[in-house]
Structure 1
């Protein structure tokens, strides 16, 4: 092996990691701007604390970020070799084994924390297993432990070096989310949502204050010009106390009046909160229909858009796959093979599911056009295993609920194994009746064509058809049908009597 991994833990958990200063408490525009400017200067601790509070305190914001992360976590994935060579496949097998480390799902979730905060770091704890270097655990490192120097390099703050140390290679996984070009400090979506979070926080507080005094009359205390200072103080305390106690004792020279307030709606607060939620949903999910269905949206439209916009989901998957390939697969191959050639790929299956019914109609149409489609391709397309030799298969269903309709010529071609003279007579008479019916049917069709041609509108055609049906000469057809039924009945009875006579019954 060309290199050996760093086995000691570098980002050791410190006692100070447990303490928070809660910077969003009493958040004001001046305080928020100061936190953001301080992060631009490299000190990101307060910004990361604020982002963590925002995700924790705002249920809507936390739900949106969780949806964005779960959209990736819910996907299947696989390890693909760099090419089809045996060496590439051997290295891919090693990576597959390495991806079985403890807490893989937690590591994926921790790295996706970069979506909100701009970056997320996990430390790789290497171990030896049967002579191979593999990851044992990849725990998350608190983002407050990092700072950036004047050159933009990320540094890890330790107890021995408060100004931070440069991160050693092949030891940390650094996942960055770039909502915009520039510093990782400004790349997270929570930075874009910070102002809307503050405005929403103001609206919620004002709404709660409004609900507390909603409908309560304004108390106005009046005193006469000759009232003493003591009387005025008693009156002021009485006005303040009467809101909660509903009782007060005042002198006869003072007066308390109740002025009823106008019953205004609380919609401005609700609208501002809805606006903030919609803006944050647009920033995080890429659309708002699945998060807030208003008067202009619908549940069906939300389902069409999906939980997360498809291009954002694909970007998250590709960025996370590149982080694993660069910070985990590369050192893993280096430690075990001595070089970094033929690095495997992490492939997330983020493709949206196909509409199999539409695909079925497409293949059916192509087949009817005469296009030759390989049978194996159809089996693979619809995920149906090809039946083996002798394996029972489902019989194709007949059109019309399993009933097959045959023409007269097709029926004539079918003969029973044993000829029945009576049945032959009936078939012969049926053919004669069908031939005899051709003339009146042809005349009716010609007359019907003339009726359709002379009609100028659908309503006129409807009226003429009703009159045509009433005046249609149906007597020849009725007579032919009656004769056919009567003859079939006679031949049938005669056949039964002949069979009875032959059997001696």
Structure 2
């Protein structure tokens, strides 16, 4: 096999018969922009819509509220050093006043909205280390694609653009392809709903003005001249703003309300357009299409999950670009001696379902409840879950002497007999002895749980600890107590039978 054939590209633009040779750059093939005769700058106008910007902010905040970390590319000292440099770079970018890291990540996320977005990396060399000083956004209007590479339009190269230097431009593209290297812009799919919506607003306002206000009809007696009619018309127009007017003598003014208009047509149009915009931007429409009479919690959770998946996809897009920056930092400072680290978004997971079992094991000898703050901090429960009291409920403790949670049928206001008092004292002595045994076990359990770094580690260590817990003495105490109580019960039953004589029902 000829290895040159493996290296040769056969399906790029140079072999495409549809590609017009001589073009300095490919035009953006977006169907909406091309047919409407618009440029990508129309996206700024679409973003001015209140519903669009609300959904964009929802999507952006969904990604930026997630935490991230820098994960070393290996375990070698050079790999660790590379991760430290990238962590240092991001920490400094977070503190930049004009171009904070949060804003840069949000700009990269905009690639999904506008098809592509780019950042210029402005470097600084300090203490023998190359690190980015800040990341500045590059407007899309200055980027063109030749079919092979991105180029930047400048004063000296306004048409063909200059080649992007190495280590200078981070470009993010959304669903880019050979035919459309500019990427698929979601705001382009919002253009027609945006246009129809605002046309609906215009007609809705006109409808409100036309049918919401009464018609003012005036009659002039006799043969009124044109100047008189114009004077009266001007007075009536002024009445739309001011409730007073001076009309010629003999004029009759009537007010008539118009009926038959249906304002719901335009309201439905606007609501439908908002729904289409929501589908494009966040993958759900509950906030715009469902009212109190429809929808359900299950549907809301399903749509919320779809939105989370879209946010996760945005995070992957941003992560790929940040990994490119990490590779540059590693290469400029360590060459090929180190593996570049990775920009990793931390997964948002619900707390383990079985963690309550660990808490119950640790507190089974404790009455009441586990301190909420201790449980939340120990098991890493997020703020959004901290209203769930069931996760920290201790095992129910039956009050001494019965009560609402215990069997109260044997309780009486009568004083104990000597035998009953002896049984009560036996129970109290047994409980005191058991409390001492359980307290020792409790100390061991709490020590294991408090020293554990995770739920899984706590479970493993508790299982290892179980054989060392004091169970034999507790079992012996329980056996002796139950035996004594059983013997006393039998003795009492025989005494009652003897007192009852020969009565079989006694």
Q: Which has the larger radius of gyration?
A: 1
CA contact (8 A) 2:278 2:284 kept: yes
Listed one character per residue, the Cα deviations across residues 221-260 of structure 1 (whole Å, up to 9, x for unaligned) are 8999x97xx94675467457524337586798x9988664
Distance 1:203 1:334 in 2: 55
Alignment-derived partner of residue 336 in structure 2:
339
User: CA–CA distance in 2 between the matches of 1:96 and 1:77?
Assistant: 11
Partner of 2:153: 157
1:59 aligned onto 2:50 = yes
The reply to whether residue 318 of structure 1 matches residue 309 of structure 2 is no
Structure-2 change in CA distance of 1:415 and 1:322 (3 Å): closer
Matching of residue 244 in structure 1 with residue 238 in structure 2: yes
Distance change >3 Å, CA 358–CA 277, structure 1 → 2: farther
Separation of aligned partners in 1, 2:315 and 2:290:
27
Shift in CA distance, 272/315, structure 1 to aligned 2, threshold 3 Å: same
1:44-71 CA distances to partner (integer Å, 9 max, x unpaired)?
xx6343212221x211110100111111
1:274 aligns to what? 271
Pick closer, same or farther for the CA change 1:147–1:58 going to 2, 3 Å: same
Quick one: structure 1 residues 337 and 476, their matched pair in 2 at CA, closer, same or farther if it must change by over 3 Å? farther
What is the alpha-carbon distance in structure 2 between the residues aligned to residue 116 and residue 34 of structure 1?
Answer: 15
For structure 2, which runs of at least 5 residues remain unmatched after alignment? 1-29, 361-375, 382-391, 408-419, 431-482, 498-502
Q: What SS does structure 1 have at the residue aligned with 2:190?
A: helix
Q: Secondary structure at the match of 1:99?
A: helix
- 2:280 paired with 1:296: no
Per the alignment, residue 136 of structure 1 pairs with 133
CA contact (8 A) 1:219 1:239 kept: no
Alpha-carbon distance between aligned partners in 2 of 1:215 and 1:396, rounded to the nearest angstrom: 60
Residue 63 (structure 2) aligns with: 72
Structure 1 residues 195 and 35: CA distance shift in structure 2, 3 A: closer
- Alignment pair present for 1:167 and 2:164: yes
Superposed, which structure 2 residues align to 1:76-155 within 5 Å?
76-100=67-91, 101=93, 102=96, 103-149=100-146, 151=147, 153-155=149-151
Question: What TM-score results when the alignment is normalised by the length of structure 1?
Answer: 0.60
The Cα offsets for residues 65-114 of structure 1, whole Å up to 9 and x where unpaired, read as 01111111111111112233333222222221222233212211222222
* TM-score (structure 2 length as normaliser): 0.60
The 3 A distance-change label for structure 1 pair 134 and 437 is farther
Match of 2:349 in 1: 353
SS in 2 for 1:133: strand
Structure 1, unmatched stretches of 5+, are 1-32, 41-45, 365-378, 385-394, 418-423, 439-474, 480-505
Q: Pick from 484, 487, 490: which aligns with 1:431? A: 490
In 2, distance between residues paired with 1:123 and 1:51?
21
Is the 1:177–1:184 contact (alpha carbons within 8 Å) kept by the matching residues of 2?
Answer: no
Native 8 Å contact 1:324 1:346 kept in 2: yes
Distance (Å, rounded) in 1 between the aligned partners of 2:89 and 2:143: 27
- Greater Cα shift, 429-438 or 78-87: 429-438
Structure 1: how far apart are the matches of 2:353 and 2:131? Answer: 45
- On the 8 A contact 2:82/2:330 being kept in 1, the answer is yes
Equivalent runs, 1:397-436 vs 2, <5 Å? 399-401=396-398, 430-434=489-493
Are 2:187 and 1:195 aligned? no
Quote the residue 1:18 is aligned against: none
**Mapped contact 1:203–1:269 kept (Cα < 8 A):** yes
Matched, 1:306 2:300: no
CA 238–476 in structure 1, closer or farther in 2 if over 3 Å, else same: farther
Task: Indicate the SS of the match to 1:83.
Answer: coil
1:330 equivalent in alignment to 2:327:
yes
Go from structure 1 to structure 2 and tell me whether the alpha carbon gap of 1:380 and 1:209 turns closer, same or farther (over 3 Å shift). Answer: closer
Choose which of 170, 174, 177 in structure 2 pairs with 1:177. Answer: 174
Give the Cα–Cα distance (whole angstroms) in 2 for the partners of residues 118 and 340 of structure 1.
35
Q: Which range is displaced more, 121-130 or 169-178?
A: 169-178
State the superposition RMSD in angstroms.
4.7
Check the 8 A contact 1:200/1:273 in 2, yes or no: yes
SS of the residue 2:39 aligns to: helix
